[in-house]
Amino acid sequence: MPPTVALGLWFVLLLTLLVFDPAKEPKTSLALWLPIAWMFIVATRFPTQWMNFAGGLSTLQGLQEGDPMDRMISALIILLAFGVLLSRSFKWGGFIRRNAWLMAYLVFALVSVVWSDFTLIALKRWFRDLGHYFVILVILTDPDPLLALRAVFRRLGYLMIPLSFLLAKYYPLQGMQFNPWTGAAMFVGPSTSKNGLGVICLVAGIYFLWDTVARWSERKKSRTKLIILVNIVFFALSFRLLLLANSATCRVCFGLACVIIFLAHTRMIQRNPGLLKAMIPLCLCLYPILAFGLNLNAEMVKAVGRDPTFTERTEIWQLVLSMHTNPIIGTGYESFWLGSRLATVWASHVGSIAEAHDGYLEVYLNLGVIGLTFLVGFLISSYLKICKLLKPFTPLASFALAIWTVTLFYNVTEAAFKWHFMWLSFLPVAMTVPWRVRQRAPAASLVKGSVMEEPADIRLGPTEVWDPEPSGHQTA
């Protein structure tokens, strides 16, 4: 089949899925296409890379300066998202109070540009990354945040999973890369690396599995049957792509997420949610002891077909730590991989990399112990909020717990607390959003002399979802 014909068929399939999607909900806002566009760019490539205009992103100068067209497109999405929030009368004060650790992290990151060796670049990157939070707030301030969350992840799956197969088969120059030493082919799909494709498959697989399990009790309904059938197809495609991507980290995280989702929906856990709430932190605390004290990491990586150095990651960690950055305040926001430090790393035997392959180490290098403390505080506070969904149990609990746990484990060998699809997938279940909503009055009350109810303060995010219909409030 000619590539252009295959591209046309993919486009028709995408339109068919979006128009005739059995899970489509008319309540969701058109503004959701803003976070979809943003998350697609973060998960795949910058617009200029898609248009083949980017000529220097793999060079030292290109990494530092970026591209003006990419900045313009990012700024446009940010402004539109900010406009949506203004139109919804978003309560910024309440959001800041309920997300104190995240706000402290962002403020410290902004202040850190002062001591960065590349102040202007760090400042531009901070404002660019601020778009993460604006677009996620567009999802969480939707009239029904749970439906909005489902719509965003579903549409992203419809878009990126078939596109990955299309690029790998019919556009190999864009969908595949080749190892410069061995010549082995690597599937990258719409992303720029096999690990990037792995994250796309990981998040899509988690979503379609969770949505299937969450709807399973209603599987006898005709509409739900169609939704589950579509979910199973895309879950299988995501799993197949995950194997082709050959990302060991994503495969391990995917297995972990599946276990959490199934456990959360068992009767034992729903009767005793404290078991799961205690199990996850216990495993996280035991992991460093088993991994580094008993050399479990070496055995695990051998089991998934990797060498004990995590594909030279331990050498990267030693190299970047040997540069002796400021341990308290770091080098400044997103400033470590710039200038002489980046040149030193690229001149070493570890190759042309631009991340520490460890999220916690990455934050430490850029923001020091202070920034890392704020980040850990946000992770802990978000976990406590998510645990509230377990009693009484809500289907969102399993998805939120799976994403939270996977994000923490993923950052052991990859850096994702920044411009990364994993971080964007984590934020919707981690942030808490207050929202002032005016209840809709029944039609019968819209007569002369009737009085609408006063606006009610309702907290949205990972704990509650507001049903805008007159029937009132439901837990998501």
The residue range of the domain holding 73 is: 3-436+455-460
Residue 17 or residue 435, greater confidence: 17
**Alpha-carbon span 150 to 279, nearest angstrom:** 27
Dihedral angle of Cα 211, 217, 223, 225, to the nearest 10 degrees? 80
Q: How confident is the model at residue 180 (pLDDT cuts 50, 70, 90)?
A: low
Q: Is residue 441 part of a domain?
A: no
Per-chain mean pLDDT for the chain: 82
**Cis geometry, peptide bond prior to residue 281 (ω within 30 degrees of 0):** no
Q: Is the pLDDT of residue 56 over 50?
A: no
Taking the mean position of all CA atoms in its chain, how far away is CA 228? 23
Residue 380 or residue 246, greater confidence: 380
Per-residue model confidence (pLDDT) at position 470: 32
Neighbours of 46 (CB within 10 A): 20
Q: Which pair of tokens denotes residue 444?
A: 């019968």
Q: Is residue 190 part of a domain?
A: yes
Q: How confident is the model at residue 107 (pLDDT cuts 50, 70, 90)?
A: very high
Of the given ranges (52-56, 89-93, 315-319), which has the lowest mean pLDDT? 52-56
Of the given ranges (8-12, 26-30, 98-102, 323-327), which has the lowest mean pLDDT? 26-30
Residues 6+ apart with CB under 8 A from 321: 361
Q: Is the pLDDT of residue 235 over 90?
A: yes
Of the given ranges (165-169, 188-192, 464-468), which has the lowest mean pLDDT? 464-468
Q: Find, among 244, 259, 255, 356, the residue nearest to 303 by Cα.
A: 255
What is the end-to-end Cα distance of the chain in Å, rounded? 45
Per-residue model confidence (pLDDT) at position 104: 97
Per-residue model confidence (pLDDT) at position 108: 97
Q: Is residue 444 part of a domain?
A: no
Mean pLDDT value across residues 154-173: 92
Residue 448 or residue 76, greater confidence: 76
Q: Is the pLDDT of residue 302 over 60?
A: no
Per-residue model confidence (pLDDT) at position 37: 96
Q: How confident is the model at residue 115 (pLDDT cuts 50, 70, 90)?
A: very high
Residues 6+ apart with CB under 8 A from 210: 261, 395, 398, 399, 402
Q: What is the pTM of this model?
A: 0.85
Q: Is residue 362 part of a domain?
A: yes
Per-residue model confidence (pLDDT) at position 471: 36
CB 124 within 8 A of CB 4: no
Residue that the structure tokens 């992840």 belong to: 153
Residue 106 or residue 173, greater confidence: 106
Tens of pLDDT, residue by residue over 408-454, are 999 988 999 999 999 999 999 999 887 543 333 333 332 333 222 33
Total tally of structural domains belonging to the chain: 1
Per-residue model confidence (pLDDT) at position 49: 85
Residue that the structure tokens 């059938």 belong to: 229
Q: Which of 40-54, 123-137, 169-183 has the highest average model confidence (pLDDT)?
A: 123-137
**Alpha-carbon span 423 to 252, nearest angstrom:** 18
Per-residue model confidence (pLDDT) at position 404: 95
Longest dimension (CA), the chain: 79
Name the 3-class secondary structure at 192.
coil
Residues 6+ apart with CB under 8 A from 279: none
Q: Is residue 281 part of a domain?
A: yes
Q: Is the pLDDT of residue 469 over 50?
A: no
Q: Is residue 443 part of a domain?
A: no
Residue 403 or residue 302, greater confidence: 403
Per-residue model confidence (pLDDT) at position 101: 96
Q: Is the pLDDT of residue 112 over 90?
A: yes
Neighbours of 87 (CB within 10 A): 10
Q: Find, among 346, 354, 345, 352, the residue nearest to 323 by Cα.
A: 345
Distances (CA, A) of 38 to 66, 149, 211, 384: 17, 14, 23, 28
Q: How confident is the model at residue 83 (pLDDT cuts 50, 70, 90)?
A: very high
Q: Is residue 447 part of a domain?
A: no
Residue 175 or residue 199, greater confidence: 199
Q: Is residue 473 part of a domain?
A: no
Mean pLDDT value across residues 213-224: 91
Q: Find, among 321, 373, 376, 311, the residue nearest to 345 by Cα.
A: 321
**How many CA atoms, within 13 angstroms, populate the side-chain half-sphere of residue 132?**
25
Mean pLDDT value across residues 200-215: 95
Mean pLDDT value across residues 47-67: 62
Tens of pLDDT, residue by residue over 240-271, are 999 998 888 899 899 999 999 999 998 888 88
Percentage of the chain beyond pLDDT 90 is 50
Alpha helices (H) in 246-358, listed in sequence order: 248-264, 267-271, 273-288, 296-303, 313-321, 339-347
Dihedral angle of Cα 248, 201, 475, 265, to the nearest 10 degrees? -50
Per-residue model confidence (pLDDT) at position 15: 94
